[in-house]
Amino acid sequence: DLADIGVTGLATMGRNLARNLARHGYAVAVHNRTYGRTQQLVKEFGGEGTFVPSEDLAAFVASLKRPRRAIIMVKAGAGTDAVIDQLADLMEPGDMIVDGGNAHFDDTRRREAALRERGLHFVGTGISGGEEGALNGPSIMPGGSKESWEALGPILQDISAKVDGVPCCVHVGPDGAGHFVKMVHNGIEYSDMQLIAESYDLLRQALGATPAELASVFREWNRGELDSYLIEITAEVLDQVDAETGKPFVDVVVDQAEQKGTGRWTVQSALDLGVPVTGIAEATFARALSGHPEQRAAAASLQGPGLSGVGGRELVEDVRQALYASKIVAYAQGFDQMAAASREYGWDLDLGAMATIWRGGCIIRAKFLDRIRAAYDANPALPTLLADPTFAAALDAGQEAWRRVVTTAVQIGVPTPGFSSALAYYDGLRRDRLPAALIQGLRDYFGAHTYRRVDKEGSFHTDWSGDRTEHPA
């Protein structure tokens, strides 16, 4: 019998995705470059459903029902290109190739265009939730044509996470839209983690609290508006004790954060689109700073403020509010980036739907996303999430605490680039007049770049090197 859908690439993610499909009653064709992995899957989990194993790609393609649906779950990059090329040669017009790896959206746009010329549907799909999500229900962000969504959507929604019975999977938009949205998801994940790390660091330094005490704080926070997967697992990690030394686990881990590149991609794209995603940028740079031990050793003798142990229990609640306010800013920036990309690439993204599909399955899953959904439901043309009445009220309620937190951090020399830059963004956006006017003046002075006036139309230039009179440009 022919299989309903296929998965090629059976490492952690692909294997679990194939099992998820099989458990939902689909007959799944399975293939991996090294056949051993395929055999292993069938041997270990064959009882979970119907697997149709193939040793080579031609047999794999031949084992699929038409139109064929094949999901690629191989290492992102050159490997993906190689597998796409081989699959495309074996497939026929109308068939669908799904790339579920972490591809860059530019690569997905390129691949989609090339395969469309050959009559094939290429579906760049973001999948979040790691190993566990792939098996039990990830958040799925498919791009590609409407026709491919019709043939694939029901299956992907079937195996995705559900929140209140709603699948965490919608058709994101054409070509690279799915991978773009997954990229921004990861960028926001960087930002969320940085803000959590700053909260922990500041409370530990200021109050002298132990990781175990802070685990209780995060557990308490998880019962309120911060309720989310990342806050929940922060408590777990902070509570962990190293078996070998008896020390807190977090104290035996090397303090250099690694990255696979999606945060960097998000920031690079934001620079191209002209969207200030300062929260994601600071989070990415903070990881980079941590990863330079030679510079850190060289700078270790530089002077700090000679102040410590400021603040009492009230700092805990202040930090909670600063964390929530900064999180609102980070998400506002990420959603701005998706809106800008939607305009730039003609994707027609439904921002409220993006909040919906991140409510479950993925790493940034949180109660909070319901509030973002509600904000876009109330006003689909919202210029910034900061202006939504619910978020505006939360920022209003938290901004004094937020300022005290940043002040305390500066006083005792604890770096909080996430909190500080989010506050600067908030203060920048709400300002009546910005010093950008002076920058325009300087640009006109040295480069005759011209400026616009607040009181009349048109562009102007002042003759700075001559009589300093103004002329229409």
Q: Which is nearer to ligand NDP, 237 or 273 (CB)?
A: 237
Give the nearest distance from C-beta 179 to ligand NDP in angstroms: 11
Q: Can residue 233 be called a binding residue for ligand NDP (CB under 6 A)?
A: no
Rounded distance, CA 6 to CA 40, Å? 17
In 3D, which of 312, 287, 290, 286 has the Cα closest to residue 203? 312
**Binding of ligand NDP by 79 (CB under 6 A):** yes
Give the nearest distance from C-beta 69 to ligand NDP in angstroms. Answer: 18
Burial class (CB in 10 A: 0-12, 13-18, 19+), 144: buried
CB of 264 to ligand NDP, least distance (A): 14
Judged by CB under 6 A, which stretch of 69-77, 239-247, 263-271, 419-427 contacts ligand NDP? 69-77
Please report whether residue 188 would count as binding ligand NDP according to CB under 6 A. no
Say how far apart CA 155 and CA 145 lie, in whole Å.
16
Cα separation, 89 vs 68, in Å, equals: 13
Catalytic residues: 182, 189
Q: Which CB sits closer to ligand NDP, 12 or 210? A: 12
Q: Is 118 in the site for ligand NDP (CB under 6 A)?
A: no
86 exposure class (CB count in 10 Å sphere: 0-12, 13-18, 19+): middle
Q: How far is CA 453 from CA 84, 440, 457, 460, in A?
A: 54, 10, 7, 8
Using CB under 6 A as the binding rule, whether residue 131 contacts ligand NDP is answered as yes
Distance CA 20, CA 12 (A): 12
Contacts of 381 (CB under 8 A, 6+ apart): none
The minimum distance between CB 125 and ligand NDP, in angstroms, equals 10
**Paired tokens of 298:** 């060289």
Distances (CA, A) of 375 to 139, 229, 390: 21, 22, 8
CA distances (Å), 117 to each of 110, 112, 122, 159, 204, in order? Answer: 11, 9, 11, 30, 58
Binding of ligand NDP by 89 (CB under 6 A): no
Would you list the DSSP string of 230-259? HHHHHHHHHH-B-TTT-SBHHHHS-S----
230 binds ligand NDP (CB under 6 A): no
Contact call for residue 262 and ligand NDP (CB under 6 A): no
Q: Which tokens belong to 1?
A: 């019998």
- 417 binds ligand NDP, rule: CB under 6 A: no
β pairing state of 28-31 and 96-99: unpaired
Residue by residue, DSSP assigns 291-305 as T-HHHHHHHTTS---
Q: Should residue 94 be labelled a site residue for ligand NDP when binding is judged by CB under 6 A? A: no
Q: Is there binding between residue 30 and ligand NDP (CB under 6 A)?
A: no
Residue nearest ligand NDP, CB atom distance: 101
Nearer residue to ligand NDP within complex by CB, 141 or 214: 141
186 scored as a contact of ligand NDP (CB under 6 A): no
Instruction: In whole angstroms, give the CA distance from residue 101 to residue 262.
Output: 12
Only one of the segments 72-80, 250-258, 267-275, 389-397 lies at the binding site for ligand NDP (rule: CB under 6 A); that segment is 72-80
276 three-class SS: coil
Which pair of structure tokens corresponds to residue 97? 């190739």
Size of the site for ligand NDP (CB under 6 A): 22
Instruction: Give the list of residues 6+ apart from residue 11 with CB closer than 8 angstroms, or none.
Output: 32, 37, 73, 74, 75
- Is 73 a binding residue for ligand NDP by CB under 6 A? The answer is yes
**Window contacting ligand NDP (CB under 6 A); options: 11-19, 61-69, 197-205, 306-314:** 11-19
CA 210 centroid distance within chain: 30
What is the nearest approach in angstroms of ligand NDP to the Cβ of residue 262? 9
Q: Does 67 bind ligand NDP (CB under 6 A)?
A: no
CB of 371 vs ligand NDP, minimal distance in Å: 26
Cα-Cα-Cα-Cα dihedral sign, residues 327, 328, 331, 336:
negative
Options 5, 7, 13, 355; binder of ligand NDP; rule CB under 6 A: 13
Is 421 an interacting residue with respect to ligand NDP (CB under 6 A)?
A: no
Q: Of 67-75, 239-247, 424-432, 458-466, which segment contacts ligand NDP by CB under 6 A?
A: 67-75
**403 forms part of the interface with ligand NDP (CB under 6 A):** no
Binding flag, residue 127, ligand NDP (CB under 6 A): yes
Q: Is 41 in the site for ligand NDP (CB under 6 A)?
A: no
Q: Tokens 């562009």 sit at which residue?
A: 459
Nearer to ligand NDP, 14 or 142 (CB): 14
Q: Does 37 bind ligand NDP (CB under 6 A)?
A: yes
By CB under 6 A, residue 130 contacts ligand NDP: yes
- Residue whose CB is less far from ligand NDP, 84 or 195: 84
CA distance 130 to 85: 26
Q: From 125-133, 327-335, 416-424, 444-452, give the range in contact with ligand NDP by CB under 6 A.
A: 125-133
Decide: is 219 part of the binding site for ligand NDP (CB under 6 A): no
Give contact residues for ligand NDP (rule: CB under 6 A). 9-14, 32-34, 37, 73-76, 79, 82-83, 101-102, 127, 130-131
